[in-house]
Amino acid sequence: MAERFKPTRRVNLALTERGWRNLKKFSTEAGLDEGEAISFLFENFGSVMDEDNLTHRLRIFNSELEARKK
């Protein structure tokens, strides 16, 4: 039997415009609302992420972060 989808935590989340557009696109394509899409991504984080690519992208993001905040 499938586990019941019951959100138990609420998170105040801030996204960039690009992040929001990507979340909306993913959730629409998957037939989910935004909260369900975020839950899916984090419940399955290890299997939907390529570890090498994640590490590389995180390094780039962190190096650009201060400039993006200005």
Q: What is the pLDDT of residues 20-46, one digit of tens each?
A: 999 999 999 999 999 999 999 999 999
- How far CA 34 is from CA of 19, 21, 48, in Å, comes to 12, 11, 17
pTM (whole model) above 0.75: yes
Decide if pLDDT at 15 tops 90.
yes
pLDDT category at 1 given cuts 50, 70, 90 is low
Distance CA 11, CA 33 (A): 15
Percent of the chain with pLDDT over 70: 99
Percent of the chain with pLDDT over 90: 59
**Closest to 38 in 3D by CA, of 24, 53, 54, 52:** 24
- Whether 29 and 37 have beta carbons less than 8 Å apart is answered as no
Distance CA 13, CA 37 (A): 14
